[in-house]
Amino acid sequence: MAERSLLNQLIDALRCLPGVGPKSAQRMAFHLLERDREGGARLARVMADAMARVQSCRRCRTLSEHDLCGICANPKRDASLLCVVEQPSEIVAIDQATDFRGLYFVLGGRLSPLDGIGPDELGLDVLEGRLRDESIMEVILAISPTVEGSATAQFIADFAARHGVKITRIAHGVPLGGELEHVDGGTLALAFAGRRDL
């Protein structure tokens, strides 16, 4: 075949999806073409629209097609609580699993000067502006307990203190149902350091 067929182009293009290798891409392409043209056409429309229009929320930096995301624009959310996360996907997880109904702020990573990721890349100037201008009472840090994560948390704690805002960090320890013998040493050490009175 001299020219690439549309089918082969579709199989190739599907491989940009994470976790999709040549076999799954082929299965997906045949499935859409043989059994779900309508679903495929809708997916193509929504995907083109999302790639073109989704940007960052001006206030919390999560992904949104609006200037302000649905959470930031919702007057029912508690504007005195601000949860700082690394990635937009973590907002979905926290909103689904917890009863937290405050606002969020997305860093998009952790401080890592060697990789050129400083406070500006994480929008920490925007965050500090919010602590100064909004009536935030408590900042809850939901940041991974890695070296860079802890440095980032400390950096935020420092300027939160300057603005007189209470700062907390979510608990790290042995997960629910976790067997002690299967939990990694770092987590176990964190769990011991963070022990509480019963």
Query: Which parts of this chain interact with a copy of itself (CB under 8 A)?
Result: 1-3, 5-7, 9-10, 13-14, 16-19, 24, 26-34, 36-37, 39-54, 63-65, 69-71, 74, 87-89, 92
Report the residue number, 25 or 131, with the smaller CB distance to a copy of itself.
25
64's tokens: 């949104």
Write 30-33 long-range contacts (CB < 8 A, 24+).
33/7
Amino acid identity at 187: T
Q: Is 64 helix (H, G, I), strand (E, B) or coil?
A: strand
For the bound state, the minimum distance from the C-beta of residue 39 to a copy of itself, rounded and expressed in Å, comes to 3
How many Cα neighbours within 13 Å face the side chain of 46?
Answer: 6
145 close to 172: Cβ distance less than 8 angstroms? yes
SS (H, E, C) 13-54: HHCCCCCCCHHHHHHHHHHHHHHCHHHHHHHHHHHHHHHHHC
Question: Would you say 32 or 124 has its CB closer to a copy of itself?
Answer: 32
Specify the DSSP class assigned to residue 112.
Answer: B
Rank residues 42 and 162 by Cβ distance to a copy of itself and give the closer one: 42
Residue closer to a copy of itself by CB (options 24, 187) is 24
CB of 161 to a copy of itself, least distance (A): 31
**Residues forming beta bridges with residue 55, ordered by sequence position:** 64
Q: Among candidates 47, 48, 70, 46, which has minimal Cα distance to 57?
A: 70
CB nearer a copy of itself, residue 62 or residue 152:
62
What is the closest distance, in whole angstroms, from the C-beta atom of residue 102 to a copy of itself in the complex?
A: 15
Q: How far is the CB of 162 from a copy of itself (least distance, A)?
A: 31
CB 99 within 8 A of CB 120: no
Closest CB 26 distance from a copy of itself, rounded Å: 7
For the CB of residue 133, give the shortest distance to a copy of itself in the complex, in Å. Answer: 24
Closer Cβ to a copy of itself, 103 or 167, answer by number: 103
